[in-house]
Amino acid sequence: MTATVVEALPATMFRLQLENGHEILGHLSGKMRLHRMKVLPGDRVSVEISPYDLTKGRIVYRL
């Protein structure tokens, strides 16, 4: 699912707005954290959403 970064929070957490208008919290995946990928507000990212908690997700790719 595609989202836009709205706000950068501490500890590599981000507030994301999905294409359908919902806002979720997302954190960087392990490989992105390992390679120190920069994600800034306004960037479009690909997100995996947890099936157990639909308000949390993992950023897996910067578009």
Q: Please, what CATH class does the domain formed by 2-62 belong to?
A: mainly beta
pLDDT tens-digit series, residues 43-54: 999 999 999 999
DSSP type of residue 59: E
Pairing label, strands 23-28, 44-49: unpaired
Domain residue ranges of the chain, discontinuous segments joined by +: 2-62
| Site of tokens 């919902």 | 22
pLDDT tens-digit series, residues 6-61: 999 999 899 999 999 999 999 999 888 889 888 999 999 999 999 999 999 999 99
Rounded distance between C-alpha atoms, residue 55 and residue 63, angstroms = 21
The pTM of the full predicted model, rounded to 2 decimals, is: 0.89
CB-based contact 63:46 (threshold 8 Å): yes
